[in-house]
Amino acid sequence: MEANTLSIRQVVPADAEAFRQLCIETFVDTYNIYNTPENMQLYIDTHYTPQRVLDEINSSTMQFYLAVAEDKLAGYVKMRTTENPPELAGKKHIEIERIYVLPGYKGLKIGKSLIAHAATVARGQQFEVLWLGVWEKNDHAIAFYTKQGFTVFGEHDFILGTDRQKDWLMKLELV
């Protein structure tokens, strides 16, 4: 893939079903080997229903951006505003709640492009900090985020199905 064949655009309601399938496929690819089939299905059934995906696309607190490579969906980033975490109280912050790239597109710097896009969007909206949670056992992702300038500043619990897992909170100062 040549660099000029990658574009990043905002998700619109007409993308809902294709986007939902992308969400499920990337989620399963990332976490299937670490979790039980029951917990994976419970998470999918809760977080990736057609109505929930459409509601989130239309939400004023969430922003989704698609990476399109060679006219195919290759990955996405989900950003959202939230009051949490308390460690960032007093700073205007936005979370990267999800960032995923399809297996066939990994290694092509699409994740790096999505992070850069998220940072540009956040700066444009006057946010001071871009932050995310990453599973403490996902060494590859932690190394990737560190390389992008993120630093660990806390932790929180993440529930996948019935399994309580620990996420490290990482932030990128934008100002």
Task: Name 64's Cβ contacts closer than 8 Å, sequence gap at least 6.
Answer: 10, 11, 19, 56, 57, 76, 77, 78, 79
Do the Cβ atoms of 164 and 151 come closer than 8 Å? no
Give the helix/strand (H/E) hosting 7: strand 6-10
Residue 50 neighbours by CB distance under 10 Å = 10
Options 43, 76, 105, 145, the catalytic residue: 145
* Spatial CA neighbour of 57 closest among 68, 48, 45: 48
d(CA 130, CA 150): 9
Examine the residue annotation and report whether 48 is marked as an active-site residue of this protein.
Answer: no
Residues recognised as catalytic: 145
